[in-house]
Chain A
Amino acid sequence: MPAIKKAEPVIRKGRSGSAVNQDPDVWAKITGKAVYGTDLYFPGMLYGKILRSPHPHARIKRIDTAGAYAVPGVRSVLTAGDISNKSYGIVVEDEQPLAHNRARYIGDEVAAVAAVDEESASKALEAIKIEYEPLPAIFDPTEALLDEAVQIHNNCPGNIAWERDMERGEPERAFAGADLVVENEFSIPSVHPTYLEPIACVAVSDYMENLTIYTALQSPDVVREIIAEALELPLSKVRIIGPVMGGGFGGRVYGNLKLYLLSSLLSMHTGSSVKMRLTREEEFTVGRPMIAARMKVRMALRRDGTFLARESDIITDNGAYSAQAPWVSKTLSERNDSVYRIPNIKTRARLVYTNKVPTAQYRGYGNQAANFAYESLIDQAAQKLSLDPLHLRLKNCTRAGDVTVHGLDIKSCALSECLQKAAEKVGWNNRKEGCGYGISAGIHASGSLVANKDFRGASARAVLELDGRMTVYTGEQEYGQGAYGAFVQIAARTLGLEPQLLTIYCRDTLVTPYSQGALANRQTTIGGRAVQLAAEELKKLIEEAASEMTGEPVKMIGGSLAAVSGKLIRFDEVARYHHHRTSGLTLAGEGCYVPPPSKYDETSYGNISVTYSFAAHAAEVKVDRETGALTVHRIVAVHDSGHIVNPPGARGQIYGGVTQGLGFGCYEGYVFDRGKVANSSLADYRIPTALDVPRIDYHFIEINDPEGPFGAKGLGEVVQVPVPGAIANAVADATGVRVTNLPITAEKIYRTMFKGECDG
């Protein structure tokens, strides 16, 4: 009987008896008890604020901070001249903690202040005098590519941050011999992940020069390394502890490095803890949205519908600094080539600097943006060839055992089943009068083998506690996607225990195993596999210790420890025995899952992931033919994510991902007015409301994957990928015309129907 009686969380039983709320965060969130970054408070804590450039491009001629120091309560004012200001970057080292000499977008960090409260910090910002000399600014990436364009970074002539020319097979020949060539141009705006919790952090620098940053991140171990290097601190002195994460959707893989670096610098300067948080407006104007893209694409087919070749010219808009945009551009420019068997590929992709908000990554990594373009083009081809878009896809889709055009090794794949099921469930052959129907197919990596070719896997630790319960230590991250629920399931199944006996310990870089983090659909597949191996190891250690203790062989079966004689042993007895015998050690099973290396080469040919998830979505829409108003009636989401380990979590991923895909397809997108974000509020940057979400039907084709734990594959990212394309194709089916730039709004549909505009 507990010392204090209180209401117990109601544990509903899910499929196969699995408890629904094994995720430690869920109950805290539901009851409002979850502690987020913005809730943190430390004694003597200061508040940091950032002074930002009002110019899209300007030389910083002079900064006078005297007035700021005169504001009561101000403890520190930092400019580029006060710090070593080492360059850093995730792919390209093109950023510094504070703008030095030059500001490159509206919002560029020029000075940082710490004060006893936010009001004093704001007053101090107003008291800083800066003399700017405005420079010509570029907002359009195609203009940035012109010879006469002003150079945004000194060491980057031509403003190309990253580029790629790629050819597989013999595309020219394939185009020359094709029966049909279709082509079009598509554009996709920048989108923000729009997590509910704006990023917040507290940096605590102590007198021993330890730096602890409290902030919720998808990849805290990687961020820790970037911070240590940028601040020139020994890695062992830097620690990141995570509060509960209020959503991430890729935007919190590296979060807002500027915020972490500046709060750390202010804390190191003052010796006090320093809290900083972005406002919602800052999230839009200086947070990191995903790159915008323009895609000119061509496709060659044989008369019977066989895909022969595809050619793409892609320009992505980097904004002022790079972050992960090169990697996102890479995924955007090649991942969709592996959805179908396309033997010949030619792609030119260029990531271009502009004087706009810097970009980073978002759930789907650009895969959904390109999927919209390519899947639209496939429907164009189907129309020209008078073929059913479903049959055209079934004829060409990737299948298990394939090695795709880029060398992806497809070990398991139920894409054709997904396509058939999605069509069947949406009523592809049984259409409602006046509705439009569209289908789209997608692939996504499930754990990257090439982000770091030497570090491909994950590790975990499973510990038997003295009371007989067990704890799983993981460096992977939970942010609402259900990773920890899945880990508990995996460990419980491996150990044959009730999930309630297991606890997850997480979010502390000092204690938990190093992880690449929550990205690339890798949590359940890679992280989960490590948990499985750690649990297996713990099981072995428990059996050994118990055998030693009793002097007869002991086996762990069905959650119990039984000796050969039939005697049952309690877990806490074994834990104590080992604890005493070793003077304090606990039984700890360590598991590491190291996927086989990839032969990925310098042309980017080769396997990039442990395994791949597939999906086909079908949309049913209705268009008001007078106004262009679009109603999405239904999205049918059919997925091959292998065996589904955590069904309630998987369901949640479908609903959330499809809704975000709907936002991407029909509502969202940055609007710029001469470099300034014009829709920097949730009133003007429209995400779907509950009333806009259609009926979502889902279905899992459960074919066990040979690599994932219990046959599981990732789901979190692939679920957003086919949505915009499926809706776009359904709109085209309903109206007979095609909107080629996202988001597909009523006005754009109207203009394409009546004004013959494709890019209105």
Chain B
Amino acid sequence: MSYTVVSNLDQAVEALAKSEGKARVVAGATDLFLGNLPPELVDISTVPDLLGINRDPDYLSVGAGVTHARAAASPEIRLKAEALAEACREVGSPQVRNMGTLGGNVVNAAPAADAAVALVALGAKAVLVDLNGVYREAAVEDLYANYNLSVVDSSSEILLRFLLGPTVRGEGSAFLRFAPRGALSLPLVNAAARVRLKGNTIEAVRAVIAPVSPAPTRLSETEKLLLGSKPAQDTWRRVEYTAAAEVDVRGSMLRCSAEYRHHLIGVLARRMIRKALERALESKEGGDGR
């Protein structure tokens, strides 16, 4: 087995091209030993292009090589993409958060990946480059081919960064997870939402839940219910019911029954949307530009 550490993007592309499909990109490598080891690995964890957390007027750009620990601690992300900071704080254990990267969390395509759920809720787009230097953009939720299988072929394509529209005044985001223990545990359900208010009316909403299918899943019925509404007490019961009803879930003898997971999805959907909404209200009133 060969392991090549590259220090810039050109070297990474070159190393992948030379291996003719045998090499795989690796960054945090936290899940590497869970599967079969590929014959060649190209370590991109120190490529500077992948490490930035930058803000321009339209976008917050977060490098694919940013670790969960860095994302959770980043003032930019905590202020402009709070759900992502919350999700990153919950991943695995301190060791995993210090090594594992946001890009890996998405390309590894685990159906319960926390950061990916937040990224989809925030409407993040992934920026990728192939071996010919051609760039493309794709919505994060479109990067999933199947369970634990990404559309991104990491022998010939590199995920560079995520572009997020930063939350603005009147907007809020939130992430919640429900797991059998406090750390090192896959969630039974994880959920994230982004909500924008105009006055007291919900002007935009993205509500995402996992693990119910290969990719983090939008709760489109729940979103429809909320869009254009002024949430009142009776809304939340309907949110809970709609969210629980609109996804298919499976039970597992090691995690929980399908029935219980349905119940949790409803409760968590309501809680995280409410939390996002509270934050949207706060940002409106607080006037801190969130």
Measuring CB to CB, which residues of chain A are less than 8 angstroms from any residue of chain B? Answer: 626-627, 629, 667, 671, 673, 678-679, 683-684, 686, 688-692, 745-747, 750-751
Closest to A743 in B: B180
Contact B182 A747 (CB under 8 A): no
Distance of A93 Cα from B181 Cα, bound (Å): 40
Distance to closest chain A CB from B125 (angstroms):
32
- Return the 7 tightest CB-CB contacts between A and B, nearest first: A691-B182, A689-B183, A692-B182, A747-B260, A691-B183, A747-B256, A626-B267
Contacts A673-B253, A679-B254: A689 and B182 contacting too (C-beta < 8 A)?
yes
Contact B184 A689 (CB under 8 A): yes
Contact B263 A686 (CB under 8 A): no
The residues of B that contact A683 with a CB separation of less than 8 Å are 184, 186
Distance to closest chain A CB from B244 (angstroms):
12
The residues of B that contact A691 with a CB separation of less than 8 Å are 181-183
| B250-281 interface code vs A (CB 8 A; 1 in, 0 out) | 00011011001001100100000000000000
Distance to closest chain B CB from A675 (angstroms):
14
B178 within 8 Å of A (CB atoms): yes
B185 within 8 Å of A (CB atoms): yes
Distance to closest chain B CB from A106 (angstroms):
16
| B30-64 interface code vs A (CB 8 A; 1 in, 0 out) | 00000000000000000000000000000000000
Tell me which of A671, A673, A686, A751 contacts B181 (CB under 8 A): A686
The residues of A that contact B186 with a CB separation of less than 8 Å are 683
Distance to closest chain B CB from A747 (angstroms):
5
Distance of A627 Cα from B180 Cα, bound (Å): 12
Distance of A708 Cα from B260 Cα, bound (Å): 51
Distance to closest chain B CB from A224 (angstroms):
38
The residues of A that contact B264 with a CB separation of less than 8 Å are 627
The residues of A that contact B182 with a CB separation of less than 8 Å are 688-692
Contact B180 A678 (CB under 8 A): no
Distance of A691 Cα from B185 Cα, bound (Å): 12
20 contacts between A and B (CB under 8 A): A627-B178, A667-B180, A671-B253, A678-B254, A683-B184, A686-B180, A686-B181, A686-B185, A688-B181, A688-B182, A689-B181, A689-B182, A689-B183, A689-B184, A689-B185, A690-B183, A691-B183, A747-B256, A750-B260, A751-B260
The residues of A that contact B253 with a CB separation of less than 8 Å are 671, 673, 678
Distance to closest chain A CB from B216 (angstroms):
21
| B155-196 interface code vs A (CB 8 A; 1 in, 0 out) | 000000000000000000000001011111110000000000
Closest to A672 in B: B253
Q: Which of B125-167 contact A (CB under 8 A)?
A: none
Tell which of A627, A686, A688 has the most Cβ of chain B within 10 Å.
A627
Distance of A629 Cα from B263 Cα, bound (Å): 13
Distance to closest chain A CB from B178 (angstroms):
7
The residues of A that contact B183 with a CB separation of less than 8 Å are 689-692
Tell me which of B93, B181, B260 contacts A667 (CB under 8 A): B181
Distance of A463 Cα from B227 Cα, bound (Å): 84
The residues of A that contact B181 with a CB separation of less than 8 Å are 667, 686, 688-689, 691-692
Distance of A667 Cα from B254 Cα, bound (Å): 12
DSSP class of A's interface residues: helix, strand, loop or mixed?
loop
Distance to closest chain B CB from A752 (angstroms):
12
Distance to closest chain B CB from A755 (angstroms):
9
Distance of A690 Cα from B181 Cα, bound (Å): 10
Contacts A678-B254, A747-B256, A750-B263: A629 and B184 contacting too (C-beta < 8 A)?
no
The residues of A that contact B184 with a CB separation of less than 8 Å are 683, 689
| Known pairs A667-B181, A683-B184, A686-B181 / 18 extra A-B pairs, C-beta < 8 Å | A626-B267, A627-B264, A627-B267, A629-B178, A671-B254, A673-B253, A678-B254, A683-B186, A686-B180, A688-B182, A689-B182, A689-B183, A689-B185, A692-B181, A692-B183, A746-B180, A747-B260, A751-B260
The residues of B that contact A751 with a CB separation of less than 8 Å are 260
Distance of A383 Cα from B267 Cα, bound (Å): 32
The residues of A that contact B263 with a CB separation of less than 8 Å are 627, 750
The residues of B that contact A629 with a CB separation of less than 8 Å are 178
Distance of A667 Cα from B183 Cα, bound (Å): 13
Tell which of B181, B186, B267 has the most Cβ of chain A within 10 Å.
B181
Distance of A336 Cα from B180 Cα, bound (Å): 30
The residues of B that contact A667 with a CB separation of less than 8 Å are 180-181
Distance of A746 Cα from B180 Cα, bound (Å): 8
The residues of B that contact A678 with a CB separation of less than 8 Å are 253-254
The residues of A that contact B254 with a CB separation of less than 8 Å are 671, 678-679, 684
Distance of A618 Cα from B220 Cα, bound (Å): 47
The residues of A that contact B257 with a CB separation of less than 8 Å are 747
The residues of B that contact A750 with a CB separation of less than 8 Å are 260, 263
Distance to closest chain A CB from B92 (angstroms):
11
Distance of A563 Cα from B169 Cα, bound (Å): 89
Distance to closest chain B CB from A750 (angstroms):
6
Closest to B266 in A: A626
Contact A745 B180 (CB under 8 A): yes
Distance to closest chain A CB from B74 (angstroms):
23
Distance to closest chain A CB from B39 (angstroms):
18
Distance of A48 Cα from B64 Cα, bound (Å): 44
The residues of A that contact B267 with a CB separation of less than 8 Å are 626-627
The residues of B that contact A747 with a CB separation of less than 8 Å are 256-257, 260
Distance of A362 Cα from B254 Cα, bound (Å): 23
Closest to A684 in B: B254
Distance of A678 Cα from B184 Cα, bound (Å): 18
Closest to B252 in A: A678
Distance to closest chain B CB from A199 (angstroms):
22
The residues of B that contact A684 with a CB separation of less than 8 Å are 254
Distance of A678 Cα from B178 Cα, bound (Å): 22
Closest to A628 in B: B260
Closest to B240 in A: A626
Distance of A234 Cα from B40 Cα, bound (Å): 55
Closest to B260 in A: A747
The residues of A that contact B256 with a CB separation of less than 8 Å are 747
Distance of A747 Cα from B259 Cα, bound (Å): 10
Distance of A627 Cα from B263 Cα, bound (Å): 8
Distance to closest chain A CB from B29 (angstroms):
17
Distance of A750 Cα from B263 Cα, bound (Å): 10
Distance to closest chain A CB from B20 (angstroms):
28
Distance of A688 Cα from B257 Cα, bound (Å): 22
Distance of A730 Cα from B184 Cα, bound (Å): 26
Closest to A666 in B: B181
Closest to A746 in B: B180
Distance of A684 Cα from B34 Cα, bound (Å): 14
Distance to closest chain A CB from B256 (angstroms):
5
Distance to closest chain A CB from B80 (angstroms):
28
Closest to A745 in B: B180
Distance of A678 Cα from B254 Cα, bound (Å): 7
Distance to closest chain A CB from B287 (angstroms):
33
Distance to closest chain B CB from A758 (angstroms):
16
The residues of A that contact B185 with a CB separation of less than 8 Å are 686, 689
The residues of B that contact A689 with a CB separation of less than 8 Å are 93, 181-185
Closest to B93 in A: A689
Distance to closest chain A CB from B221 (angstroms):
21
Closest to A626 in B: B267
Distance to closest chain A CB from B186 (angstroms):
8
Distance to closest chain A CB from B201 (angstroms):
27
Distance of A745 Cα from B253 Cα, bound (Å): 13
Distance of A692 Cα from B267 Cα, bound (Å): 22
The residues of B that contact A690 with a CB separation of less than 8 Å are 182-183
The residues of A that contact B93 with a CB separation of less than 8 Å are 689
The residues of B that contact A679 with a CB separation of less than 8 Å are 254
The residues of A that contact B260 with a CB separation of less than 8 Å are 747, 750-751
Distance of A746 Cα from B177 Cα, bound (Å): 14
Distance of A252 Cα from B180 Cα, bound (Å): 29
Distance of A667 Cα from B253 Cα, bound (Å): 14
Distance of A671 Cα from B93 Cα, bound (Å): 25
Distance of A691 Cα from B264 Cα, bound (Å): 22
Distance to closest chain A CB from B262 (angstroms):
12
Distance of A673 Cα from B252 Cα, bound (Å): 11
Distance to closest chain A CB from B185 (angstroms):
7
Closest to B184 in A: A689
Closest to A692 in B: B182
